[in-house]
Structure 1
Amino acid sequence: MENDLEIDPQRASLEQAIALLKPLRQHRQARAERQQREAQQNLENSHEQLQNVEARLTRQTEEQHARRAQLASQHLQQCMGFEEVGRWHDRERRMLDHLATLRHEVHQQQALLETHQAQLQQASNQARQAQRAVEKLACLNEALNDES
């Protein structure tokens, strides 16, 4: 009878450790889930920015082709002076430089998107690990309570 009233020191120590670890692990889980949501939002924003840049590139490319066709039709069968050819060349070069800048921006956005995908994967893994840690602690606590 006296043994039943005595508190097992190992059990008490384990219950104390569980009580101490539970809020810490829950905090880690909440932080990991928050980081996962932020990573998801960053990925969505990056994807949207990539689509916008790609749309701008497509639109600018089409406009450049239209301007090139317009310039060509305006000067078809005409004799052009050296200065006018130089201006035409300068306009063409500026248009091509602008398209090259947009292509570079598309590549940067694609790289950023890949980075955000990797960050989301890592955040998801951390959130799963944190959730498992909380669940393991809950199972241990439940097993202790079932023993009582």
Structure 2
Amino acid sequence: MEKKLVKILENACALCLCILVVAVACQVISREILHAAATWTTEIGRAMFLAVVFLGTPILIIEEGQMAVTMIKDMASRKKTTALLFNVIGDLVIYFGLFTLTYGAYNRTLAEWHTMIPTVEWITYGYLYLVMLIGCLSMIFMQVRRTKKYILSYLAKEET
């Protein structure tokens, strides 16, 4: 399930990145060559950037690719129980942030579902918040998998 989700998210991010590049290219061409701003490119670019960030972050979580300062955790890494405690405390902070973000994205999705974006009327703000909600739920899923992985690793080391 994890690998399928990662593959889906990677493909979605690649598609969004391609659309972002086309939108930015259209914006540059319209401003520099045609001397007329294409207002729709700004909104499409913003939407695609949001999608790349929120759909790409779950991949970073499961692959542990995000940047982190681990100085204190590294000093405690010799003691397995202390390292586990730091990991759990860190994860609790992450879960609090993710659940808060998910709750906010859910509420905004419902509130803005029918609010049209003026320059791109076929996209509503609710769609953007839906992408955020899907990304947040994916981040929670990946974070749970990551937490489970290091807890099982700790328990396996304790048995030996």
Question: Under TM normalisation by the shorter chain, which class is it?
Answer: 0.3 to 0.5
More strand by share: 2
The structure having more radius of gyration, on CA atoms, is 1
**Length-normalised TM-score, structure 1:** 0.42
